[in-house]
């Protein structure tokens, strides 16, 4: 029987670590804007998803170092509408909190109606439909004070705004108030409030999402201010001489958590550079220890920066079982009954662009079957027939075997290194008349170049390899001897070149002018080198 093989770390991340150290990023690949909460010794973390569906990836951990992907918070179209959303749109900066037996996730859909809350008693189960909040801005936070009042805090109007709300209805219970403008860095955003030792601490990000990113903090005796900044701000940044050559840059947008042993930690985003200060995998989730004594200011990792190899003493490590090659197509992954994409049988590590048509995806007879549509990878409003997962390693190999069935001239299917609708490298099979070709396409904005090689029939193996400066595309007709058909420079797909807030997805896709053909993929394999 045909099978799909998938070796992914993102859905069952196992980091080699002892109680004396660990490796960053703890959640590799496109996973920006992390927010974390704890219930006893269970930790739940969410990240931004922008124009990808489902929205808001959800991770679980027992030790803050090893994380497993357990699903998405927004799995239904009733929760997440992405009309014409591009890589700048969709879901921004979620916050997850637990209060009085219920989980709350608050976020912004800038492609729809703005800020909203969803709730769940079980974070792995179904979350509610949105509760909309009439507040401007982005990056909302929820904080419950000791008196039970709930405070909304968000970024807007070049500063941090706050009001009291009813989190179950979204009703505003006080007038919005500006409580801090930050320390003078651009784009003060990503606020989180914590109460400790009689102080209210307000953590924010400043400096934008690029190399100048950082984290600052202020405190007040009252939740609504006035807030006074820490004397050693920023408490976390790599925009300084000591870290100018670090392979980790752009650190910021953080959330602080106290572990069940009393220790303090911070999760933040950052990115790994390659090919000359470019980054392609998006902003990833990093972890660092925090020293936070009584009535003092928090100090991140002793130096206000982080590294790939961390020597900090951690919680006792409880890694999850790594997922080896998996028979996804024989044993479809479980999904919420009401999930829009439940019928596909694909696991939570797979994503779609905007709101997909579930009828175009299915697992049948040991194949992942994709029904092509007229929308291609360059589409800026429709959802192409595409499903992808996050690139997690600078050096990797990805491979698949496909057949293109019932094809007519112009129908095509293959694999893509996808950053954006205007920036991707594709290796694919296409039919032209009675002939078949393997093609490589470089799509870089207004520049497009295609090369093609004739092959025997509708059956081909495709491999993509990644390294520091290049992606390479290969094909084989027998699965043994591979031929190099294209090489693309990584920098042309980087965030510095393309802009946007996302990272590279390695995707499987199909396109058909007649919309009557389909592509059968009988395995997929991803290996970090």
In the sheet with 361-364, reading across from the earlier edge strand, the strands are 361-364, 367-371, 518-528, 396-405, 459-466, 470-476, 483-489
What's the CATH code of the domain at 384?
2.60.120.200
Residue-number span of the structural domain to which 174 is assigned: 22-310
In this structure, the answer to whether residues 258 and 397 fall within a common structural domain is: no
Separation of alpha carbons 143 and 163, rounded Å: 11
Q: Is residue 3 part of a domain?
A: no
In this structure, the answer to whether residues 91 and 160 fall within a common structural domain is: yes
Per the structure, the count of domains in the chain is: 2
Long-range interactions of 142-150: CB distance < 8 A, separation 24+: 142/95, 142/97, 142/99, 142/104, 142/106, 142/117, 142/167, 143/97, 143/192, 143/193, 143/194, 143/195, 143/223, 144/97, 144/99, 145/195, 145/223, 146/195, 149/173, 150/99
pLDDT for 88-98, tens place per residue? 999 999 999 99
Higher per-residue pLDDT: 364 or 50: 50
> How much of the chain, in percent, has pLDDT values that exceed 90?
88
Q: Considering the chain, what is the average pLDDT of its residues? A: 93
Q: How confident is the model at residue 12 (pLDDT cuts 50, 70, 90)?
A: very low
Nearest Cα to Cα of residue 67 among 317, 281, 249, 273: 317
Q: Is residue 486 part of a domain?
A: yes
- Residue 78, sorted as left (phi over 0), alpha (psi -120 to 50) or beta, turns out to be alpha
Nearest Cα to Cα of residue 425 among 375, 465, 365, 478: 465
Q: Is residue 61 part of a domain?
A: yes
Which tokens is 495 given? 């965030």
Q: For residue 528, what pLDDT is reported?
A: 93
Separation of alpha carbons 417 and 407, rounded Å: 23
> How much of the chain, in percent, has pLDDT values that exceed 70?
94
pLDDT for 174-190, tens place per residue? 999 999 999 999 999 99
Separation of alpha carbons 167 and 147, rounded Å: 15
DSSP 274: B
In this structure, the answer to whether residues 291 and 391 fall within a common structural domain is: no
Separation of alpha carbons 355 and 21, rounded Å: 40
Q: For residue 104, what pLDDT is reported?
A: 98
- Which residues are CB-neighbours of 3 under 8 A, at least 6 positions away? 327, 329, 330, 366, 522, 523
In this structure, the answer to whether residues 236 and 382 fall within a common structural domain is: no
Residues 359-368, mean pLDDT to the nearest whole number:
92
Residues 416-431, mean pLDDT to the nearest whole number:
98
Tell me the whole-structure pTM to 2 decimals.
0.95
Q: For residue 342, what pLDDT is reported?
A: 80
Q: Is residue 250 part of a domain?
A: yes
Separation of alpha carbons 205 and 233, rounded Å: 11
Least-confidence region, from 78-92, 191-205, 321-335, 415-429: 321-335
Give the catalytic positions in this structure: 33, 189
pLDDT for 445-486, tens place per residue? 999 999 999 999 999 999 999 999 999 999 999 999 999 999
Q: For residue 11, what pLDDT is reported?
A: 39
In this structure, the answer to whether residues 402 and 445 fall within a common structural domain is: yes
pLDDT for 189-235, tens place per residue? 999 999 999 999 999 999 999 999 999 999 999 999 999 999 999 99
In this structure, the answer to whether residues 353 and 305 fall within a common structural domain is: no
Residues 409-418, mean pLDDT to the nearest whole number:
97
Residues 349-367, mean pLDDT to the nearest whole number:
94
Separation of alpha carbons 429 and 411, rounded Å: 8
In this structure, the answer to whether residues 369 and 225 fall within a common structural domain is: no
Q: Is residue 214 part of a domain?
A: yes
Q: For residue 114, what pLDDT is reported?
A: 97
Handedness of CA 79, 82, 83, 89 (dihedral sign): positive
């Amino acid at each position: 029987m045909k099978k799909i093989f998938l070796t992914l770390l993102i859905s069952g991340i196992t980091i080699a670590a002892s109680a004396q150290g660990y490796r960053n990023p703890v959640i590799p690949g496109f996973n920006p804007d992390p927010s974390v909460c704890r219930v006893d010794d269970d930790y739940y973390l969410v990240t931004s998803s922008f124009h990808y569906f489902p929205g808001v990836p959800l991770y679980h951990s027992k030790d803050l170092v090893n994380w497993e992907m357990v699903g998405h918070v927004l799995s239904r179209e009733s929760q997440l509408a992405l009309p014409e959303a591009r890589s700048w749109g969709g879901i921004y900066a979620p916050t997850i909190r637990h209060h009085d037996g219920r989980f709350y996730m608050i976020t912004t859909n800038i492609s729809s109606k703005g800020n909203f809350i969803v709730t769940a008693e079980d974070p792995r189960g179904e979350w509610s439909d949105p509760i909309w909040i009439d507040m401007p801005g982005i990056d909302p936070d929820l904080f419950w004070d000791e008196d039970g009042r709930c405070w909304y805090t968000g970024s807007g109007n070049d500063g941090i705004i706050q009001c009291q709300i009813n989190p179950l209805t979204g009703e505003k219970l006080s007038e919005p108030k500006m409580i801090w403008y930050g320390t003078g860095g651009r784009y003060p955003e990503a606020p989180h409030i914590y109460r400790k030792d009689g102080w209210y601490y307000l953590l924010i990000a400043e400096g934008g999402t690029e190399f100048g990113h950082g984290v600052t903090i202020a405190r007040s005796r009252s939740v609504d201010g006035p807030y006074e900044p820490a004397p050693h701000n920023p408490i976390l940044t790599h925009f300084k001489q000591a870290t100018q050559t670090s392979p980790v840059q752009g650190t910021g947008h953080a959330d602080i958590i106290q572990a069940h042993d009393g220790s303090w930690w911070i999760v933040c985003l950052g990115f790994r550079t390659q090919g000359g200060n470019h980054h392609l995998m998006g902003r990833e989730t990093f972890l660092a220890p925090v020293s936070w004594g009584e009535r003092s200011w928090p100090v991140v990792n002793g130096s206000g920066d982080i590294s790939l190899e961390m020597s900090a003493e951690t919680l006792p490590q409880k890694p999850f079982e790594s997922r080896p090659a998996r028979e996804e197509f024989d044993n479809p992954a479980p999904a919420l009954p009401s999930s829009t994409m439940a019928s596909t049988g694909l696991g939570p590590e797979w994503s779609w662009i905007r709101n997909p048509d579930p009828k175009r995806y299915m697992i049948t007879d040991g194949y992942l079957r994709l029904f092509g549509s007229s929308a291609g990878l360059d589409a800026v409003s429709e959802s192409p027939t595409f499903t992808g997962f996050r690139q997690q390693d600078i050096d990797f190999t990805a491979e698949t075997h496909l057949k293109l069935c019932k094809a007519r001239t112009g129908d095509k299917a293959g694999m893509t290194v996808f950053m954006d609708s205007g920036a991707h490298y594709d290796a694919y099979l296409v039919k032209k008349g009675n002939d078949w070709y393997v093609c490589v396409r470089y799509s870089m904005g207004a520049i497009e170049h295609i090369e093609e090689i004739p092959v025997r029939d509708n059956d081909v193996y495709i491999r993509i390899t990644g390294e520091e400066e290049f992606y390479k595309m290969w094909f084989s007709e027998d699965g043994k001897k591979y031929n190099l058909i294209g090489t693309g420079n990584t920098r042309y797909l980087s965030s510095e070149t393309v802009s946007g807030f996302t990272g590279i997805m390695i995707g499987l896709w199909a396109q058909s002018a007649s919309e009557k053909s389909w592509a059968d993929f009988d395995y997929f394999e991803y290996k970090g080198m």
